[in-house]
Structure 1
Amino acid sequence: MSILNVKTNPIANQKPGTSGLRKKTRVFQEPGFLENFIQSIWTGIGGAQGKTFVLGGDGRFFNAEAIQTVLRMAAASGAARVIVGQNGLLSTPAASNLIRKRKADGGIILSASHNPGGPDGDFGVKYNIANGGPAPESVSSAIHAATEEIGAYRILESADVDLSEIGIAQIGRMEIEIVDPVADYAALMEEIFDFDAISALFQSGFRMRFDAMHAITGPYAKAILETRLGAGAGTVTNGTPLPDFGQGHPDPNPIWAKELVDVMMDPDGPDFGAASDGDGDRNMIMGRGIYVTPSDSLAALAANATLVPAYKDGLSGVARSMPTSLALDRVAEKLGIECHETPTGWKFFGNLLDAGRATLCGEESAGTGSNHVREKDGLWAVLFWLNILATRKISVAELMADHWQSYGRNYYSRHDYEGIDSGIAADLMQGLRAQLPDLAGRSVAGLTVSNADEFAYDDPIDGSRTEGQGIRIHFDGGARVVFRLSGTGTVGATLRVYLECFATEALDQNPQDALADIITAADELAQIEARTGRKRPTVIT
């Protein structure tokens, strides 16, 4: 085996976004594209020499080939050991757990999360640091700087490593440990939750449907829900990970998980329904006849957290991304604990979790997690719900009705306008930005603006400041609209419009009806149809 020093040139647009670098799969397959970025990771973290890394992915198309490239490049750069999931598979939360449990120096996760897979789909690479969480801004910036200066990459000339058998392999001087991708994660879940109570719930005749969307969570859900907890055979559907996710879109929301929604909305449907995404870090929660928004789910988990063994002594604090609804704030106020508002991106929760300032965190984009790892965790959220239902012995609909009676209801929806021309999207945001100084007191669609700003975050732990994180417009009475450009798409720009109003009466309305005035105000303020030509959003959740 010999080490090749391959000359290269910087490749444009290799700046990591909120969750690493995501591009179309065919872009990652272009000569040198993946190699340049991996070498830039080693440079950005101060080198790979003597370090231990965790490596795995969600099994999407190009995962197997990319794993081998990363292994050869780690060996060429002097890494001591790489811990790899069997067949190159690891869910994102499982990878975070392995980094923490094995005290690795960091990890590389190959995934584009909830984005579609396949030759014409998306691929992604994300670097996680030693605490198990996504690289902070300082590390991402160093990696990006390296991509702009790279002149060569190092790679070992060798055959592929057989990752099908659990055990120890060798490539050059580097040791490769191939591990069961599910075992350590399942053991952690059993430490957190009351598995006996959840097992008893299933034994009582409780029925559940979990849609793994042909993504990475299938093997985890089958092992934990069906084998360990005794849920009926067939509880997990679409449970075999496929490179193209069965030609589906592995995003757990009512649009892409319509099959599950139809089942759950049937009067004879299961008691509980859930879904997870491509890499296992997102979740969707349903009960018979009810869809629970991610914002409401986060608030309900916080309100009932002491029913779970790991959180029986209470929460040190909670945190939510800025666009996530204010439902969590109301729970935190009643509990007398801190509620932190951060930019979108799980990396911003890391400092709060490490410092003990937050126990539960969540984002409106179906990500929820706690201090057990440093990533959002889809199956963890599902088990959390099951633990609560097993203890309270009520339905999902009853639990949410009780929650809204206690805290009021934050009606909430997100409208996504996907694939907008990037220039038009930037102009739209600039147009909103220009209005900010004069918006307070203005009447828009019958609503009065109370205040408006562009969100910036001052990290209370390290003092860093992050600006330009979305435009917030608040109205009298507690309503608000947030405008933000997404950082997870791969084609054009995605405009996300977050809509919210608060109610203490009429708690069973259709959210789109309850938000009708806010929707009108949002379009009037941003001139969405006039600027983009779009009469309606691409996706409403």
Structure 2
Amino acid sequence: SVGNNKVIHSILFSEGSMKFNVAVVLAAAALAAAPTDAFARPFGVFSTRSGLKMSATTTDEVVVIPTTPIEGMRPGTSGLRKKVEVWQEKHYVENFIQSLIDTAVDSNGGKMLDTIVVAGDGRYYNDEAIQTISNICAANGIANIWIPQGGIMSTPAVSAVIRRRTESGGGEDGEGIAQGGIVLTASHNPGGPGEDFGIKYNEGLGQPADEKFTDTLYQKTLEIASYKTVADSPDIDLNAPVGTKYQLTPTSAVTIIDPFQNYLDALKSCFDFDQLRKFGSSGFSILFDGMHGAGGQFAKRVLVEELGLPESSLMRCNPLPDFGKCHPDPNLTYASELVKKMGLKSDGSADASTDASTLPMLGAANDGDGDRNLIAGAGFFVTPSDSMALICDNYEAIPQFAATGLNGVARSMPSSAALDVVAEARNIPCFVTPTGWKFFGNLMSSKESFDGKDYTPFICGEESFGTGSDHVREKDGLWAVLAWMSILSKANEGVSEGEALVGVEEIVTKHWAKYGRHFYCRYDYEGVDSDAANQVMDIIRDNLVNGDASSVESGDADIKFVDAVEFGYTDPVDGSETSKQGLILNFELGPSGDPARVVFRLSGTGSAGATIRMYLEQYEKDTSKHGISAPVALKDLADEALRL
């Protein structure tokens, strides 16, 4: 800027082997008359009248790099996860992203995407990968590449940006309508050198890529011969002010966007923030553990800045590349510090040495990318399956559902049937799907994408600490926390000042008295050799699923083996079929004949080896037995399952 009269931009760009320095001098009158941001756009020059920060960048030529296929790039239930050193190998990120873009183009009718979000959970290698991915996106001709300030955004927030941000509503920090999102996360897996990194793709409605997409992507990784990138492009300052633009090619630019606003708008469409703010100042207290993941900064924005709760309500809410050396999985084992502060033992039972009256009313935690949640009361742990059933049964407390009710609910097959019981009593359609949020996405988008039945408003969840609704197309840890705040607020309407507030334990135990309790527990065998893990599944399949159930002898007179089935799923929306999703062993217990089951499933969320998960569930109507801890109640069932 020269005085107040002239704006001078110097741009270096290449054309063939020649380099040019271009000085563009714009008179003040021309600046006032021309459309905002119109100046020399082909050269990457932008006016500052709308608040955009000027970035003089080098627009170098697109180069094509020869490559060869790299084995092992088959995405799992939530993208591709590998040890970070694998991602750092030559051509690894480039091969995967080029294959991903080519697949996205195919699914877009052969047309290049116009706008895409690139964001991560802040784990180690996040920033470097964003730079690489941005160059590949630009070289392939994606016009608008949106990156959140800091490079960090929770997974549900990415979904909110894709769903809610439009060209007219995007504001000064980005044009276009996002057609997808590249999310850099390994979710609840550890981060840091020697740990995990991952990349997943969200499609145009904000939902995780379906199996057709990931199968095509994998096939392209086996056939790739080259990828495109931008040579010698400048580094993108991820901490630049919102609105900063970086012109990577004459037709492709990166814009730094606000990480929070679209997601905050989505939450405000679900909950009464004024009521929650009032409840928060009326004796309610919470302790939220961000586990040094992406969700922490969103929790601070919502719980502290919007709802007025004290900062002492937060712990570990600053994102760190290695998650502070913790395993960012919000369960009883890895959220041990929160669990202890909530007066709980590692098995979820109450610590009798703790005075519950001194504890926070609600305890909660998110995982690395902010999509999972742990819920606890003072000295009382709520299983994810129970949490989902409670939210369903108390939907009137949540403005998102209060006016119209629920048109559908769904759970993953390994989750307990607690949701089914509530849905049947409430006459709400209930679906049981394979593990993977993409299956819920189809149900939520039935009308939107397939002109089918509308199942929204919709609640869904998984036993692996994932809960969500149709406000986005991902599970959402912070949404679950606000849902529980809303339930507690509703339960305490009419409570006089000075009276004890109704807490989590009272709400859950009343629910059990009404519907019965589904005792539930999961045991993981981690880091198992993949061949050995498959052999275990084959033994169960051959002996119990395909065998004669009547010939199976019981090792416990009170636990009768009924049958075993292998779970498969036909999607009611698009008719697609998914097989081999887990082995279910069904039992009857004692004289009552109450149902019980054990599920064995191979997990697809690890980065190395295999994990065999064993899920135990048994139903108990007798309220006198509801106070038993789940591991104790399920011990005999576990022993019988392992014997078989």
**TM-score above 0.5:** yes
User: Which of the numbers 538, 542, 557 marks the counterpart of 1:434?
Assistant: 542
Q: Which residue of 2 aligns with 1:456?
A: 568
C-alpha distance after superposition, 1:183-214 (max 9, x if no partner): 22112212211112211222112111000001
Give the Cα separation in 2 of the matches to 1:156 and 1:278: 31
Superposed CA deviations along residues 375-412 of structure 1, whole A, max 9, x for unmatched, are 00000000000011011122000000011011100000
Partner of 1:425: 533
Q: Secondary structure at the match of 2:215?
A: helix
Aligned match for 1:8, one of 62, 67, 84:
67
| Identity in percent | 47
Are 2:199 and 1:80 equivalent residues in the alignment? no
Structure 2 residue matching 1:46: 3-state secondary structure: helix
The residue identity in structure 1 corresponding to 2:604 is G
What are the superposed Cα offsets for residues 131-188 of structure 1, whole Å, 9 maximum, x if unpaired? 1010001000110010000000100111112222210412212122211111221122
Runs of 4+ in 1 over 4 A off after TM superposition: none
Residue 171 of structure 1 aligns with which residue? 248
Q: Structure 2 CA distance, aligned partners of 1:467 and 1:30?
A: 33
**1:302 and 2:392 matched:** yes
Tell me, in whole angstroms, the C-alpha distance in 2 between the residues paired with 1:363 and 1:191: 23
What is the Cα deviation at residue 50 of structure 1? 4.6
Which of 580, 599, 619 is 1:502 aligned to?
A: 619
1:315 aligns with 2:406: yes
Q: Helix, strand or coil for the counterpart of 2:440?
A: helix
Partner of 2:330: 252
Which amino acid counterpart does residue 94 of structure 1 have in structure 2? A
2:162 matched to which residue of 1?
A: 99
Q: 1:129 aligns with which of 203, 206, 229?
A: 203
Q: Partners in 1 of 2:607 and 2:441 — Cα distance?
A: 25
Contact 1:456 1:465 in 2 (8 A): yes
> Take 2:147 and 2:370, find their aligned partners in 1: how far apart are those partners?
17
Q: Quick one: distance in 1 between partners of 2:294 and 2:96?
A: 24
Instruction: Confirm or deny that 1:357 pairs with 2:455.
Output: yes
Name which of 285, 291, 298 aligns with 1:207. 285
Gaps of 5+ in 2: 1-59, 166-176, 344-353, 447-453, 493-501, 589-593
Q: Quick one: distance in 2 between partners of 1:306 and 1:70?
A: 44
**Alpha-carbon separation, structure 2, partners of 1:347 and 1:233:** 35
Compute the displacement of 1:338 (Å): 1.0
| 1:53 and 1:104 in contact (8 A); partners too | yes
- Deviation string for 1:423-462 (max 9, x for gaps)? 1111000000101133534343322122211100000011
Q: Does 1:149 align with 2:226?
A: no
Aligned residue type for 1:300:
L
The answer to whether the Cα contact below 8 Å between 2:116 and 2:144 also exists between their aligned partners in 1 is yes
**Match of 2:150, SS?**
strand
In the TM superposition, residue 46 of structure 1 has moved relative to its aligned partner by 2.2
Q: Secondary structure of the equivalent of 1:177?
A: strand
Distance between the aligned counterparts of 2:342 and 2:64, measured in 1?
A: 56
Which amino acid in the other structure matches residue 230 of structure 1?
G
The normalised TM-score by structure 1 is 0.95
Deviates more, 1:124-133 or 1:351-360: 351-360
Measured in 2, the distance between the counterparts of 1:377 and 1:37 equals: 26
- Displacement of 1:81 in angstroms is 0.7
Q: Which has the larger radius of gyration?
A: 2
Q: Which residue of 2 aligns with 1:402?
A: 510
Asked if 2 retains the 8 angstrom alpha-carbon contact of 1:285 and 1:293, the reply is yes
- The answer to whether the Cα contact below 8 Å between 2:291 and 2:326 also exists between their aligned partners in 1 is yes
**Map of 1:468 onto structure 2:** 580
**Does the 8 Å CA contact 2:618/2:634 hold for their aligned counterparts?**
yes
CA distance in 2, matches of 1:116, 1:444: 41
| Contact map agreement 1:197 1:391 (CA 8 A) in 2 | no
- Give 1:278 shift: 0.2
Q: Distance in 2 between matches of 1:82 and 1:491?
A: 31
1:234 alignment partner, SS class: helix
Q: Is the 8 A contact 1:209 1:272 kept in 2?
A: yes
Q: How many residues align?
A: 525
Offset of 1:357 from its aligned partner?
2.5
Q: Which moved more, 1:48-57 or 1:450-459?
A: 48-57
Alignment of 1:7-86 (within 5 A): 7-46=66-105, 49-86=112-149
Aligned to 2:484: 385
Work out the CA distance in 2 between the residues paired with 1:357 and 1:307: 20
**Which SS does the other structure have where 2:542 is aligned?**
helix
Partners of 1:174 and 1:440 in 2: how far apart? 62
Give the TM-score, by structure 2 length: 0.80
Letter in 2 for 1:318: V
> Taking structure 1 as reference, are residues 58 and 439 closer, same or farther at Cα in structure 2, changes over 3 Å only?
farther
Partner of 1:514: 633
CA contact (8 A) 2:104 2:113 kept: no
Aligned amino acid, residue 5 of structure 1: V
Question: What displacement does 1:120 show?
Answer: 1.1
Cα offset, 1:334, TM superposition: 0.4
Q: Which moved more, 1:14-23 or 1:223-232?
A: 223-232
Structure 1 contact 481–499 (Cα < 8 Å) conserved: yes
* 1:266-345 mapped onto 2 (5 Å cutoff): 266-267=354-355, 268-312=358-402, 313-345=404-436
Partner of 1:484: 601
Q: Which one is further off, 76-85 or 441-450?
A: 441-450
CA distance in 2, matches of 1:233, 1:379: 16
Write the distance in 2 (CA, Å) between the matches of 1:44 and 1:445.
Answer: 52
One-letter amino acid matched to 2:547: D
SS in 1 for 2:414: coil
Tell me the secondary structure at the aligned position of residue 494 of structure 1. strand
Distance 2:640 2:207 in 1: 37
SS at match of 2:388: helix
Q: What is the Cα deviation at residue 227 of structure 1?
A: 1.3
